[in-house]
Structure 1
Amino acid sequence: MGTDIDGVIESRSADGSWKIEVGLLDLQLGRDYRAWGCLFDVRGMEGVRTLFADRGLPNDVSDPVREMSIDPDSDYQHSHTYATWAEVAAVDWDAPLADGPAFYYAGEWRPGEDGELVLHGIVEAAWGDVLDAAYDTFGDDHPGTPSEWPPGGEVCLDGAVYRPVVLTARMLAPPDEGRWARLWTAMRDLAAEHGDDNVRLVVWFG
């Protein structure tokens, strides 16, 4: 059974009250388990530090948000948490989120416009074609998961180079492209009007 995200962006007015500015459903974030694990510790990977997990609802959350995010007759809605724009803006998206290379994932490098290899993204490498290529490269008696490849080891496959990688927030929830850029842009624009501490994201899952 899948998990879905819901939530809002709120702003705080001069009298200290919060109101809904944007509903997350309107931003069409979809299911993004990698990002949820990194940001909110929901369906994430073991050993990866998260940014804004397990905070619950803000004490001063607006009444409409409290009503829509808590069903007193069900535990369907869970993992409530939040973050202000000031906190999001302070994130170091390139800081390591783990103490060593990812177990299941490898970085995928491909040639850029100048021919130099550029990190293209991360892929699941503990099974499938990359795993098969790892056995071909390192031998059948060598562990196939990227965190256990030999020092400096890499796998070449279909024009790409795969290497062990220490995960960062930028890899899991890219802030400048795709679905998350829409969210952060909306918060940034509201913060320009209301102030960084007066705009926040409130999320929950079901």
Structure 2
Amino acid sequence: MSTDVSGMIECRPGARIWGEDDEDAIWQEAIDLFLLNTGNAYDALACLFGVRNSFGFRPLAEERGLPDDASDCVRQQFHAGGGGEDNWGTTWISWAELTSVDWDETNLSGSLSRRAVAGEGTHWAPVWDVMRTLAGLHGPEHVRLVVWFY
């Protein structure tokens, strides 16, 4: 049985303008991962999220759950797909975290680097491009990727 990823990039534009504690500084949907064609390469899913990690990567963001302050659109999409009953491995990672990653770090065997499986030259490049652009507008700590698996 295959494992597929679903999710969305979110941003919090009001936080940069009015401050993080302002009532209008809420997370908003930016783009569905489906539109960015990430594929389901298991080595990338292992590297990024610890899913199907027979590759021996130290995952960047494993099993953090759905953010408490997730956008309404992310919550609706998550629950429309079965919520916690049918989805698993739910997690998130911010652009600020992604920019601090050592992309040359390898898996336990030293045969695969993060860059090779999930870096700029992979199917994940469009995701990183969108997140980078939004971070330039709203700040890296106000852009995140929320994912779940089915």
TM (normalized to structure 1)? 0.63
**1:41/1:50 contact within 8 Å kept:** yes
Paired position in structure 2 for 1:90: 100
Q: Distance in 1 between matches of 2:76 and 2:54?
A: 31
More strand by share: 1
- What stretches of structure 1 of length at least 5 have no aligned partner? 102-164
1:1-206 mapped onto 2 (5 Å cutoff): 1-14=1-14, 15-45=24-54, 47-70=56-79, 71=82, 75-98=85-108, 101=109, 165-173=110-118, 175-206=119-150
Local SS of the residue matching 1:203: strand
Local SS of the residue matching 2:145: strand
Q: Distance in 2 between matches of 1:180 and 1:47?
A: 19
Q: Distance in 1 between matches of 2:58 and 2:2?
A: 22
Q: Distance in 2 between matches of 1:11 and 1:48?
A: 27
Local SS of the residue matching 1:176: coil
In percent, how many aligned pairs have the same letter?
42
Structure showing greater radius of gyration is 1
Hey, which bits of structure 1, 4+ residues long, moved more than 6 A? none
How many residue pairs get matched?
139
Q: Distance in 2 between matches of 1:18 and 1:190?
A: 13
Local SS of the residue matching 1:75: helix
- Provide the aligned C-alpha RMSD in A: 1.6
